[in-house]
Amino acid sequence: MIPVETIIGAARDLAVAGRWDRAATLLDAAIAAVPEDDAARGNAARLALAAADVAVDAGWFTGGGDEGARLSKVDEYGLDPAQRWDLEFAWLRYEYRQHLGRPDRNVRHQGERLAETAPDERRRGWAHHYLGLITDNLFDERADAPAHYEAALARSGGDDLLRREALRHLGDHDHEAGEHDLALSRWREATEAGARAGAVPGTLSQQLLLAVLARDAGDEAGAAALAAEVARWANAIGAARTAAQATAFLAGVDPTQPPPSPEDS
């Protein structure tokens, strides 16, 4: 039998590449093959956690799905302490997206608690990254967010996905401050880190930020050409949110602006 960790690793690689349906199918098949006894409870829980994590990823890029239902079905008692932390972090990622554009202190407190209780520095880095997102996009406290991204970057050794995220958002603050050369450097490095990790949808969204800088530099033709390719590729893999952002960019919308609150929509 294929080891559970091998199956989970393969599914995560598929999800990072934007093959969310295939990742979910693989994990669901593995879950169905787990014997229904107490000895196998841990394996079933780990596979269900991985499937929920994949669903959260898919929800971000596609606009939503069954991630809430999958998270609710994970048997936390079949997980070890580090995996229970992972489950709580997956819930944080889900709740963050549900509250975009409006402050929620419970989400912030959850992020702070996860940063304090993280079982290792890499996980602590991810918690700080989400605290940065919460500070930026739920509370609009722009001056306070970069410290969290710096904390994430400092803990990103060996995790190119975390490195990409931290650099992406630090570059956003550089861009807002008019430091376009620094933003370009960070965003190029973020693009490289995302590609190295095999993050197809993430690399596409990063390319859109390079189009922003091309527009800022007066190269509208280059910006439009790059954004059109991003839209085409994103549509092809089902990354609906990225495709919509690229299409909006072509119409003149700046994707680096914070998302509108529900009251403004």
Cα 129 to Cα 111: distance, rounded to the nearest angstrom: 9
* pLDDT of amino acid 265: 27
* pLDDT of amino acid 65: 82
Q: Can you list the positions of beta strands (E) in 116-171?
A: none
Longest alpha-carbon distance in the chain = 64
Cα 16 to Cα 101: distance, rounded to the nearest angstrom: 26
Q: From residue 156, how far is each of 40, 44, 129, 182, 213 by CA, in Å? A: 33, 29, 10, 19, 25
* pLDDT of amino acid 263: 38
Q: Can you list the positions of beta strands (E) in 195-265?
A: none
pTM above 0.75, yes or no: yes
* pLDDT of amino acid 101: 87
- Selection from 22, 25, 61 nearest residue 201 by Cα: 61
Q: What is the pLDDT along the chain (265 residues), one digit of tens a residue?
A: 789 999 999 999 999 999 999 999 999 999 999 988 877 899 999 999 999 999 999 999 998 789 999 999 999 999 999 999 999 999 999 999 999 989 999 999 999 999 999 999 999 999 999 999 999 999 999 999 999 999 999 999 999 999 999 999 999 999 999 999 999 999 999 999 999 999 999 999 999 999 999 999 999 999 999 999 999 999 999 999 999 999 999 999 998 875 554 333 2
Task: Count other Cβ atoms within 10 Å, centred on residue 65.
Answer: 16
Asked if 209 and 247 touch (Cβ cutoff 8 Å), the reply is: no
Task: Count other Cβ atoms within 10 Å, centred on residue 263.
Answer: 7
Residues sharing a CB contact under 8 Å with residue 124, sequence separation 6 or more, in sequence order? 115, 118, 151, 155
Residues sharing a CB contact under 8 Å with residue 196, sequence separation 6 or more, in sequence order? 160
